[in-house]
Structure 1
Amino acid sequence: MIGRYEDKEIEEIWSTEHKLRQWQNVELKTLEARANAGEVEQEAVTEISERLRASPIDLAWFNEEERRVGHDYNAFIAERRRYLPENLARFFHEKLTSYDGEEYPFAVRIHLSCRMIRHKIQALHGALWRGINAYRFVPMMERTHGRLAEIQSLGRCFITWCQPLRNGLEHLEYAENELKWSKLSGAIGTNSGLSFALEQKALGLLGAKQYIGATQIMPRILYSPIANALADIATWLEKIAFDLWLGSRDPYPRWEEPFAESQKGSSAMPHKKNPITLEKVRGMARCARAYAHAIQENIATPEGRDISQSSVERIAWPDIFHTLCHMLDCVRKVIDGLVVYPDNLAREIIESRGTYASSKAKDLLAEWLTGTITVEEVYRIIQLAAFNAFQPGETDRDCRLAKLESVTDADYLVYNIAQAPFKEPISIKDIIMTGTLKLAPSIAMDNEKKLEINRWNIALKTLFSDPDRCEKWRSIFEPSYWLEAAEPQFKAVLRT
């Protein structure tokens, strides 16, 4: 991984030095199991262990030897045997093949890396938790299909980001369970070197369970679900980043990612505060999915094995962890430093002209007008009220119809809109309650339709002559009505 996105802890876990220490541990535990079984003298195993532990691995020597022989595990064996007399050197790596020594350490490195991911997910979860509490009563419009839908609180939005992240962590932990398996069963997995019973005992000393059915390597179908779980978490982080990115657009951003006073957003446009961190997260999610796909391809390693899976694993496994760690850190920092604009969130609610309550309004009218107006007509009443509420004013309408034929026409267009008198947005709440539905330009104008709308208006005026109904009607347009509905969710989430 390039230094820009490198995680120090992951780099240490996947370093050559750490790998070689783990390889040595497998070799020594195997010798211990053989000594316990009487295959090798205990004194010999003790001396081998003491000599090797007293002689740190010489990375420079190892690297030069690997360049010479073109095989890293053989270079490792040669480096370690340098410190052993001839009568002991033969026992080191006896009855094993290279991937016997590599498989368990490979699983250990994945496990240690997953532990780092868990810690960072927990840190992000804490940031989201703080957001749930901080924004529990900040109303905002939710969108579906890119259009304004209903009111929720920003804290509820944080719940929708937080809970699936926990699910992603659970999926990762479940997939990690497969790391318990390993093998020491030789070049093709038949225990032609170390016996079946000794393999089981040696793996037990390592803390692993014997896998029956390995070839020269462990089947990669065991590891692929871990990579897929990591990719799923990365994709969920992308979803959070995308939601935040969408909300940060001008001219009335809902929020913005942290932007330092000394920071620059564009080389050409000084006013820009580009959401570069969120965009970076979205891009890195593509890398995570690509790494997971490459790891999945390793499942189809042919026959007893070839080396095609090795090159992929040297790149894809450490880099998927680097990528995810960086993404988790970025999203956590954005969440903790998020600059929220409640005024713009409120402005969206007002500009929605009460349409956020259309579903509840429809249900109430259907109940109150039973026997007078059909359910289908109630739907059309709400729809027509929305058309009326968003009907453009005279200046806006003229500008929409204007034919722009020169560059100066663009100036006139902007000037006319800038000079248009401010008009307070009208809500479907008032249109319906006052029975002032009008024929919309998008609806074919005919006498029958006019008569129908007139009948609706009469029914609505009669309906809302009742003060109790007026009060209940107004209540469903209050933000508190919608936030109150979600309060049990907060209580349930904050208890966990």
Structure 2
Amino acid sequence: MKIHPIEYRYGTPQMRRIFSREYRIAMMLKVEATLSQVEAELGLIPEEAAEIISKNASLDVIELSRIEELEEETKHNVAAVVYALEEKCGEYGRFIHFGATSNDILDTATALQFKEGLKLLETQIRELCTILAELARGYSRTLCVARTHGVHALPYILGLKFALWLDEFMRHLQRINESYNLCVGKISGAVGTYASFGEKGRLIELEVMKRLGLPPPVFSTQVVPRDLYAELISHLLLISCSCEKIATEIRNLHRTEIGEVMEGFGSRQVGSSTMPQKRNPILSERVCGIAKVLRGLIIPTLENIPLWHERDLTNSSSERVVFPEVFILLSEQLSLLRRILTSIVVDEEALKRNVNLTGGRIMAENIFLHLIRKGLGRREAHTLVSEISSRKGSFQENVLRDKALHKYLSEQEIKDILTPARYVGLAGEIIEEIIKRFHNLVSAT
């Protein structure tokens, strides 16, 4: 029976597999096998023991049901895995887990899961960046209105929205790259002193990590320092917030009164069980809803940094919830954004209508600046343009009729100044620069 939505509704199948119980146990067994191989080569256990342990350290050999039986009996998840493997290794079973503590295995298995999860997220983000680059270029000359405080501000270019989102997600690619270095394991014994491994302890740890493809370990207590986990999770939650940022903008632009950019709607899709006309931005709303959950998960992650002495167990239960939820729900957000952006609908008539909605008032700044250049004081110019913009009717017509303005600007100058397409600044150059940097990033990798 499935209960949590990440088991059946949210997240990609690939990410769910990485955080499944079977995969985690498989990673624990992989760590046990690698440890035995290194210990055998350095003379801590017989070579035959390492061969037998490695041969049997697999769920193809060990039945998951047996591990579950042993965990019920021992009330200890690592001991259950060790005992189940020991049962398959005969006389050499006593050399399993030699010198290790539970979190040598658990934290290193977590690092392997993190690494694989980051690879999937990186792939998703790269795909999203490609889509954003295409949208930025495709709408690089499409005029729209920029809004600040929800109110019309200045003329804008729709492609710049996509380009700035692309720029943000390129920063997230950099954060993902940095996060690989936070996928740290440990093989340092019960309190991090390597006492159980003797003088070769640090060498064992370094070699195990090297063979597992993990970065060099930091010094630890019984557990990997949790500030590393908090930093990694923070990186992922920043990505989640950026997903919410895009989804929030699409939800706003999807509003009936705006109607500029909308989610696609399937031919057999239903928007409401009772209102047939409804076309709701449900995917964007789902992205935003998931973000609320993900943000809350930073609290237990930060609170796991301070543990008693060389460790306590208060981190364990929360991490069992936090880690799968963060990776799986973030993969869901990225998957949703891909669906949204590949089927997005842009209503160019609505864009034009909204550019002209205020009768030219979005050009007030340009008039204001030109008056200053012509010699009118800043405060006087601001007061004059503000007063004209408050008048009823078309701003452009009111400007053209105002005698005070004609002392400084001719009718033709005013008409040129009030042309929205001429007041988008360096938007086109910004778009091209961001796209170029993305293509350079792709080429470099």
Q: TM (normalized to structure 1)?
A: 0.82
Which runs of structure 2 are paired with 1:475-494 in the superposition (5 Å)? 475-483=416-424, 485-494=426-435
Greater relative CO, 1 or 2 (CA 8 Å, sep 6+): 2
Structure 2 residue 366 is the aligned partner of structure 1 residue 360:
yes
After superposition, the Cα gap between the structure-2 partners of 1:230 and 1:55, relative to the gap in structure 1 and judged at 3 Å, is: closer
Aligned with residue 85 of structure 1, among 77, 90, 102: 90
Which residues in structure 2 correspond to 1:90-489 (within 5 Å)?
A: 90-179=94-183, 181-207=184-210, 208=214, 211=217, 213-368=219-374, 370=375, 373-388=376-391, 391=392, 426-427=394-395, 429-435=396-402, 457=403, 459-464=404-409, 469-483=410-424, 485-489=426-430
Query: Structure 1 residue 72: deviation in Å?
Result: 1.1
Q: How far has the Cα of 1:209 moved from its partner? A: 5.2
Cα 1:176–1:54 change in 2 (3 A) is closer
Q: CA deviation at 1:305?
A: 1.7
Query: In the alignment, is the contact (CA less than 8 A) between 2:186 and 2:205 conserved in 1?
Result: no
1:414 counterpart residue number: none
One-letter code aligned to 1:34: E
Cα deviation 1:272-297 (Å, max 9, x = unaligned): 11211111111100111112222222
- The CA distance in 2 between the partners of 1:230 and 1:165, in whole Å, is 12
**How far apart are 1:259 and its partner, in Å?**
1.2
Q: Does the 8 Å contact 1:200/1:209 carry over to 2?
A: no
Provide the aligned C-alpha RMSD in A: 2.0
CA contact (8 A) 1:121 1:328 kept: yes
Letter in 2 for 1:325: S
CA distance in 1, matches of 2:180, 2:34: 23
Aligned-pair CA distance for 1:210: 5.4
Summarize deviations over 1:183-216 as a string: whole Å, max 9, x none.
2111121222113533433432432455454111
Q: Please give the per-residue CA displacement for 1:113-163, whole angstroms capped at 9, x wherever unaligned.
A: 111111111111111111101211111101001110001111011112221
Residue 39 of structure 1 aligns to a residue whose secondary structure is coil
- Secondary structure, in 3 states, of the residue corresponding to 1:149? strand
Unaligned runs of 5+ in 1: 392-424, 436-456
Give the structure-2-normalised TM-score. 0.91
For 2:56 and 2:237, locate their aligned partners in 1 and report how far apart those are by CA, in whole Å.
43
Query: Structure 2: how far apart are the matches of 1:309 and 1:54?
Result: 27
Distance 2:199 2:385 in 1: 75
- Is this contact kept in 1: 2:153–2:362, CA < 8 A? yes
Q: What is residue 440 of structure 2 aligned with on the other side?
A: none
1:41 alignment partner in structure 2: 46
Distance 1:5 1:211 in 2: 33
Range with greater deviation from structure 2 (27-36 or 155-164): 27-36
Specify the structure having the higher radius of gyration (Cα): 1
Deviation track 1:214-266 (CA, whole Å, cap 9, x = no partner) reads: 11111111111111111111111111111111111113411211111222212
Deviates more, 1:274-283 or 1:24-33: 24-33
Deviates more, 1:208-217 or 1:321-330: 208-217
2:37 pairs with 1:32: yes
Using the alignment, how far apart are the partners of 1:268 and 1:286 within structure 2? Answer: 28
Separation in 2, partners of 1:115, 1:470: 60
| Unaligned ranges ≥5, structure 2 | 1-5, 438-445
8 Å Cα contact 2:194-2:201 kept in structure 1: no
Structure 2: which amino acid aligns with 1:194? F
Paired with 2:335 and 2:59, the residues of 1 have a C-alpha distance of 39
The reply on whether 1:68 has 2:73 as its aligned counterpart is yes
| d(CA) in 2 for partners of 1:292, 1:430 | 54
Using the aligned pairs only, state the percent identity: 24
Deviations 1:390-414 (A, max 9, x none): x2xxxxxxxxxxxxxxxxxxxxxxx
Q: Residues 240 and 291 of structure 2 are in contact (CA less than 8 Å); yes or no, is this contact kept in structure 1? A: yes
What's the CA shift for 1:36? Answer: 1.9
State the alpha-carbon separation in 2 of the partners of residues 146 and 175 from structure 1.
Answer: 36
Question: Is the Cα contact below 8 Å between 1:118 and 1:169 reproduced in 2?
Answer: yes
2: CA distance between counterparts of 1:38 and 1:184? 17
Whether the 8 Å CA contact 1:183–1:210 is kept in 2: the answer is: no
Return closer, same or farther for 1:202/1:175 CA change in 2, 3 Å cut-off. Answer: closer
Distance of 2:66 and 2:150 partners within structure 1: 60
Which stretch of structure 1 is more off in the superposition, 110-119 or 48-57?
Answer: 48-57
CA distance in 2, matches of 1:289, 1:257: 25
SS in 2 for 1:242: helix
Change in 2 beyond 3 A, CA 1:475/1:39: same
Partner residue in 2 for 1:14: 19
The answer on whether the counterparts of 1:29 and 1:206 sit within 8 Å (CA) in structure 2 is no
Q: 1: CA distance between counterparts of 2:62 and 2:16?
A: 18
Q: Tell me the SS of whatever aligns to 1:4.
A: coil
Partners of 1:188 and 1:99 in 2: CA distance:
10
**Aligned-partner Cα distance in 1 for 2:141–2:218:** 56
Using the TM superposition, give the Cα deviation of residue 387 of structure 1 relative to its aligned residue in structure 2, in angstroms. Answer: 0.8
* Cα offset, 1:484, TM superposition: 5.7
Distance 1:226 1:356 in 2: 43
Measure, in 2, the Cα distance between the counterparts of 1:77 and 1:485. Answer: 63
Distance 2:60 2:372 in 1: 84
